[in-house]
Chains A and B, each alone.
Chain A
Amino acid sequence: MADYTVKQTLDCSGLCCPMPVVKTKMAIKKLDVGDVLEMISTDPGAMPDMAAWARQTNHELLEAKDEGGDVYRFFIKKTH
């Protein structure tokens, strides 16, 4: 795994669609360009949803990890 300097960690554990993408969007809005946001979700739907979210918003999904036991960890870089 690559090493990222995480600016903020957003815990979306226990939250269902669409909250992980909505909360990610709100968190990203407050960061500076180049910052990396770490987001943790327990929603299996967040894997395809975060990939789609990144394609639509043009922010960079650096890594999407299935850590097992329904825990998913995402690293997103704010690009604009």
Chain B
Amino acid sequence: MAERKKLALIASQGTLDWAYPPFILASGAAAMDWEVAIFFTFYGLPLLKKDIKASVSPLGNPAMPMKMPFGPEGFQNINWPIPNIITSNIPGFEGLATSLMKKTFKNKGVATVQELRDMCVELEVQMIGCQMTMDVFGFKKEDFIEEAEIGGAATFLEFASDSNVSLFV
């Protein structure tokens, strides 16, 4: 068999919406027999925690559609224009938006971030936590899933140096 292709990803965002792309691409590539590594840094680092608690922030995110995951189809397709004054000032709005997004994703058959990460583990995707960010934010290796490794810029760059695809998410 020909030499395996390689995908090198940096996951730098920790919100629910931005947690998806790295895990979708990683599991997709691993499913195609590619060798995959994800480097989790800055706000992406908590995605390595045993329990992922990512939420979505509608604040300052005007492109985000707000949809209702229940009711007739026409109702579900409405994009609710929620002004920033509400998304930023009503306590609990972020939690509401997060649960609405999770419900909508579930209704549409989208896997949860946790499920996608489990797939990545099963498909032997290499997951590297950024040592520097761990020090800054006070994370310990024990906070993360067992499969997580720890490394720095050089670790990622060495893997990325001969990768076919490198993406920063």
Using CB atoms and an 8 Å cutoff, list the residues of chain A in contact with chain B: 14-19, 21-22, 24-26, 42-43, 49, 52-53, 56-58, 80
Nearest neighbor of B26 in chain A, beta-carbon distance: A18
Interface presence of B1 (CB below 8 A): yes
Interface presence of B151 (CB below 8 A): no
Cβ-defined contact, A22 with B28, below 8 A: yes
Number of interface residues of B (CB under 8 A): 20
Interface presence of B32 (CB below 8 A): yes
Known: A18-B27, A80-B1. A53 touches B108 (CB 8 A): no
Known: A17-B24, A21-B28. A57 touches B111 (CB 8 A): no
Can you list, as one digit per residue, whether each of B18-61 has a CB less than 8 Å from chain A (1) or not (0)? 00000011011011111000000000000000000000000000
Tell which of B27, B34, B111, B119 touches A16, judged by Cβ atoms closer than 8 Å: B111
Cα–Cα, bound, A58→B2 (Å): 10
Cβ-defined contact, A19 with B111, below 8 A: yes
Using CB atoms and an 8 Å cutoff, list the residues of chain B in contact with chain A: 1-2, 5, 24-25, 27-28, 30-34, 108-111, 116, 119, 122-123
Nearest neighbor of A18 in chain B, beta-carbon distance: B28
Q: Smallest distance from the beta carbon of B162 to chain A beta carbons, Å?
A: 18
Known: A14-B109, A22-B123. A53 touches B1 (CB 8 A): no
Known: A26-B122, A56-B5, A80-B1. A18 touches B108 (CB 8 A): no
Q: Smallest distance from the beta carbon of A15 to chain B beta carbons, Å?
A: 5
Q: Smallest distance from the beta carbon of A13 to chain B beta carbons, Å?
A: 9
Nearest neighbor of B24 in chain A, beta-carbon distance: A18
Nearest neighbor of B32 in chain A, beta-carbon distance: A56
Cβ-defined contact, B109 with A15, below 8 A: yes
Cβ-defined contact, A21 with B108, below 8 A: no
Q: Smallest distance from the beta carbon of A25 to chain B beta carbons, Å?
A: 4
Tell which of B24, B30, B31, B111 touches A15, judged by Cβ atoms closer than 8 Å: B111
Tell me which residues across on chain A come within 8 A of B119, comparing CB atoms.
19, 22
